Amino acid sequence: MAEIDRAQFLRLGVAGVVGTVGAGLLAGPASAALPTPAPKGDDVGFLSFGAVAELTSRAWYGRALTTKGFSAGERRRLQQARAAKGDHIARLNTALAADAIQPGDFDANFPKGAFDTRARALALGESIESLLVSIYLNGAAFATDSATRLLLGRLLTYDAQQLAWMRVLRGAPAASGLPVPLSLEQAGASLDRVITTPNFPT
């Protein structure tokens, strides 16, 4: 077996480190690349409802940031969540393609006084996040396309955490039993109470 000197040994060591780091860098994005949703049949319903409800939720986070009573830490989380909602909308709209929901398609129309106090704001925010969790749960179970199910499952995970955080903020247990999947008919009736069609007499 040929002997190697100290310089060769060091060169091999450097090559090994570079190779390991490089392979890691290349493998990272590959393992993070998730399948692109290609909604089929009724899948569009879950995604469309999600996009409209996420737009409404983002509007809620925006209003909550102007509500008194939230600590600095809570405000930071509200801001992070608002940004995350923007990302959710973009992901849902990418999946919806031609059926994408635009911000101008709906107006959030929250009840009068809903942001007068922290408690009221949280109650409203919790109801919107609950709707999202219930529909994502339904979609994660029953969407036809597996990549769409995966996207809905990921969104469900995030919104369930937000829902738990809001419950804790108002002094309730993080979870009150298992969430129940809702049909679009049921969830839609609730969502319609806080949105309107822009520029159209109601």
Partner 1 sequence: MLSRPQMRARRMRIVLLLATALVLAAPAAAQAFTVYGAASLSSAFPQIDGSPKYNFAGSNQLQLQIERGAPADLFASASPAEPAALFREGKCSRPVTFATNVLVMVTPKSNPAGLHSVYGLRTGRHRLAVGTAGVPIGAYTRQLLRRMQLTSILSTNTVSLEPNVNSIVAKVGLGSADAGFSYFTDYLAAQNRLRVFRLPTWAQPPVRYQMCVVKRPGADTASANRFMQRVLSSRGRSILMRFGFGLTPRR
If one counts every other C-beta atom within 10 angstroms of the C-beta of residue 101, the result is 20
Site membership for partner 1, residue 196 (CB under 8 A) = yes
Of 8, 29, 11, 7, nearest to 19 by C-alpha is 11
- H or E stretch covering 54: helix 43-64
Question: What binding mask, one character per residue, do residues 106-125 give for partner 1 by CB under 8 A, x or -?
Answer: x-------------------
Q: How would you class 86 by CB atoms within 10 Å of its CB: exposed for 0-12, middle for 13-18, buried for 19 or more? A: middle
Site membership for partner 1, residue 49 (CB under 8 A) = yes
Q: What residues between 76 and 105 interact with partner 1 by CB under 8 A?
A: 99, 102, 104-105
How wide is the angle at C-alpha 157 spanned by C-alphas 162 and 142, nearest 5°?
130
If one counts every other C-beta atom within 10 angstroms of the C-beta of residue 137, the result is 21
Span interacting with partner 1, options 84-92, 110-118, 168-176, 191-199, rule CB under 8 A: 191-199
- Least distance to partner 1, CB of residue 197, Å: 6
Sole binder of partner 1 in the list 24, 29, 41, 171 (CB under 8 A) = 41
Contact status, residue 61 vs residue 78, Cβ threshold 8 Å? yes
For partner 1, the closer CB: 105 or 116: 105
- Least distance to partner 1, CB of residue 96, Å: 9
Q: Outline where DSSP puts E strands in 34-91.
A: none
Span interacting with partner 1, options 11-19, 43-51, 81-89, 118-126, rule CB under 8 A: 43-51
Site membership for partner 1, residue 141 (CB under 8 A) = no
Size of the site for partner 1 (CB under 8 A): 26
Distance set, CA 3 to CA 9, 11, 12, 20, 188 (Å): 10, 14, 13, 24, 75
For partner 1, the closer CB: 48 or 148: 48
Site membership for partner 1, residue 5 (CB under 8 A) = no
Which residues contact partner 1 (rule: CB under 8 A)? 41-42, 44-45, 48-49, 52-53, 99, 102, 104-106, 184-185, 188-189, 191-192, 195-201
